[in-house]
Amino acid sequence: MKKLRKVDRQKRKQKRKDAQNQLAERVALMTKHPKECCVCQQVFERNHETVKTWMVTIISEKKTVRLTCPQCWAKIGEIIECQE
């Protein structure tokens, strides 16, 4: 039984480590976010309201960060709904 527990513990430890590495990568990408909307180029002014309403999209494979204002995000949502 001890060997099975040890294997389980190692798997859990590796999963935790992988999750922490992914989080660290994403946090590093967040610090490099753009300063304007990727669609309409509206300037992002950092305050309580904009931080809550603007959307950040992280594409891990390409290591890119996109910032989208609420108006453009709504338009994107409408387009996606129409396509489905």
Regarding whether 25 and 41 lie in a shared domain, the answer is no
Structure tokens at 74: 């709504």
> Which two structure tokens, joined as six digits, stand for 20?
């922490």
| pLDDT grade for 31, boundaries at 50, 70 and 90 | confident
pLDDT score of 2 more than 70: no
Task: Kindly state whether residues 40 and 68 are assigned to the same domain.
Answer: yes
- Model confidence at 17, pLDDT cuts 50, 70, 90, reads very high
CA dihedral sign of residues 82, 43, 32, 13? negative
**57 φ, ψ (degrees, to nearest 5):** -120, 125
Same domain, 47 and 27: no
Domain that holds residue 76: 33-84
Q: Which residues pair with 64 in a beta bridge?
A: 59
- Tokens representing residue 51 in the block: 């931080």
- Mark whether 44 and 16 lie in a shared domain: no
Mean per-residue pLDDT, 31-49:
86
Q: Report which secondary-structure segment, H or E, holds 80.
A: helix 70-83
**Number of domains comprising the chain:** 2
